[in-house]
Structure 1
Amino acid sequence: MRAEPAHQVRLLDLQEVDTELDRLNHRMRALPEHAQLQQLDARLTQLRDRLAVVETELRDLDREQRKAERDVEQVRMRAERDTQRLEAGHVSSPRELESLQSEIASLARRQSELEDIVLEVMERQENAEERRAALAREVAEAEAERETADNRRSEAVLQLRDELDSATRRRARIAEEIPDDLLDLYRRLREQNAGIGAAALRYGRCEGCKLELSTAELREMRTAPPDEVTRCENCRRILVRVADSGL
């Protein structure tokens, strides 16, 4: 392949911009804020799940408390009716009187037991409320931390996009100056060689694979026509002769 020496040197400028684009794209993918946000999202999910469990527990306790209070009220009202009957003197039979008194005593014990249940449920509610409040604070703190991290990521992404846009425009300008056949070869070699399709020959060494050329290879490079597109024998990248090639 033949190409003007100036076009070959320009290929090095294109390689430099492409390397910068690769670096910027890698930075975009590897922003630490990405991993931080993933960790915060996982933590938020866990906290919200725990909060949902506590809120469900509180709803269950609320139903349990209302039922226990209804049971207390029913027992209290029944005991009150029995007491009114007893005090009104409506019961004359000693046997019936004894039965009524026994029922009133039994209802008093039952009411006491139910009131203990209400108190126990209220204690559990208080404990659950404290846990809900603590979890709600943790969720709020994690959400604030996530918002801060998201803002930092957005700022970093915007800055990188600006740099990417600038580098992309520079690349387009340089690529327009390079012949299509040389550009196509460079693209293929970039895909095959970890993003490096062209390298300079400096002081007898290929800047692509960092290996020194043999005496015979240097002699071939020295005698090759200036417009001949030469390749490194080791890595097969386009090898561009420059002022400090050492030829």
Structure 2
Amino acid sequence: MKADPAVQRRLLDLAAVDAELARVTHRRRTLPEIAEIAEAEQQVRAKQDALVAVETTLTDLDRDVKRQETEIDQVRARGERDRKLMQSGSVGAKQLTELEHELATIQRRQGILEDDLLELMERREAMEADANFARVELDKATEKLEDAKRRRDAALADLESTETKRTAERSTMARGFPDDLLKVYDRQREQRGIGAAAFQSRRCGACRIELDSGAVSKLKEAAADEVVRCEECGAILVRIGEPRA
């Protein structure tokens, strides 16, 4: 295959654009923000689980407090009823004695219940503090996640802009090459990543391998308009200077 040396040199410009497009594709897949987001999402889920656990315990304590308060109210009401009955003077001595014993029992029971309620209230206060802490931690984790997403979106927007610009540039450049040369270039690029590279100082710019003397001699003997390729990687070699044996 033959192509004007100037046309072959323009392949290097096309290769540079393709290399930038490849870097855009690679960077899009490997943005550090992607891993940061995954970790932040895991942290948010963990903080959410922690908050749910604390709030569940807090709900249970609220239920226990309400039940305890109800029982205390019932005991107080019974004690108040017994006191009124004792003060009414309508009961006999035996019943009065029984009421005194019952009232003493009720008072002891009320004391135990109130102590238990106090303990529940203290536990609830501590759990409320834990819940507030868990909410703050969740807010921090959520903000960190949103910040990473904003930075990812900004980076992706920059990459999208670069890709759009370079894709349009490539489309314009590609129209300046013969179809057969462009097909060879594109096929090589799809297979090996680089379609064309400069040949300088016995070295292929694509695979970076230094060619042996035989390969260099063939390049020297090839006409300037002959399209030559690297024997190692297959890339089109653009001779931008005289190869030396």
Q: TM-score, normalised by structure 1?
A: 0.91
**1:192-214, Cα deviation, whole Å (9 max, x unpaired):** 22x11212211222112222333
- The within-5 A match list for 1:38-49 is 38-49=38-49
| Equivalent-residue separation in structure 2 for 1:233 and 1:153 (angstroms) | 42
Q: CA deviation at 1:244?
A: 4.8
Task: Work out whether 1:234 is the aligned partner of 2:232.
Answer: yes
Which runs of structure 2 are paired with 1:1-247 in the superposition (5 Å)? Answer: 1-94=1-94, 96-193=95-192, 195-246=193-244
Q: Secondary structure at the match of 2:92?
A: coil
Query: What does the per-residue CA deviation read over 1:45-98, in whole Å, with 9 as the maximum and x for residues that have no partner?
Result: 11111111111111111111111101000011011111111111222142x332
Distance 1:114 1:167 in 2: 77
Q: Which runs of 5+ in 1 are unaligned?
A: none
Tell me, what secondary structure is at the counterpart of 1:85? Answer: helix
| Deviation at residue 246 of structure 1 after TM alignment | 4.2
Runs of 5+ unmatched residues, structure 2:
none
Alpha-carbon distance, 1:129 to partner: 0.6
One-letter identity of the residue aligned with 1:70: T
The CA deviation at 1:6 is: 2.6
In structure 2, C-alpha distance between the alignment counterparts of 1:243 and 1:166, rounded to whole Å: 31
Residues 196 and 238, structure 2, Cα contact 8 Å, conserved in 1? yes
- Aligned with 1:191: secondary structure? helix
Map Cα deviations across residues 120-155 of structure 1 (whole Å, 9 max, x no partner).
Answer: 111111001100111111122222333333222222
Deviation at 1:162, TM superposition (A): 1.8
Equivalent AA in structure 2 for residue 100 of structure 1 = L
Q: Any runs of at least 4 consecutive aligned residues in structure 1 with deviations exceeding 6 A, and if so which?
A: none
Supply the distance in 2 between the matched residues of 1:98 and 1:198 (Cα, whole angstroms): 111
Mapped to 2, the partners of 1:69 and 1:211 lie a distance apart of 85
Q: Deviations over 1:200-232 (max 9, x none)?
A: 211222112222333332222222233322111
One-letter amino acid of the structure 2 residue matched with residue 207 of structure 1: G
Q: Specify the SS of the correspondent of 1:199.
A: strand
SS of 1:239 mapped into structure 2: strand
Whole-angstrom distance in 2 between the partners of 1:244 and 1:80: 114
Q: Any conservation in 1 of the 2:203–2:209 contact (CA below 8 Å)? A: yes
One-letter code of the match for 2:90? H
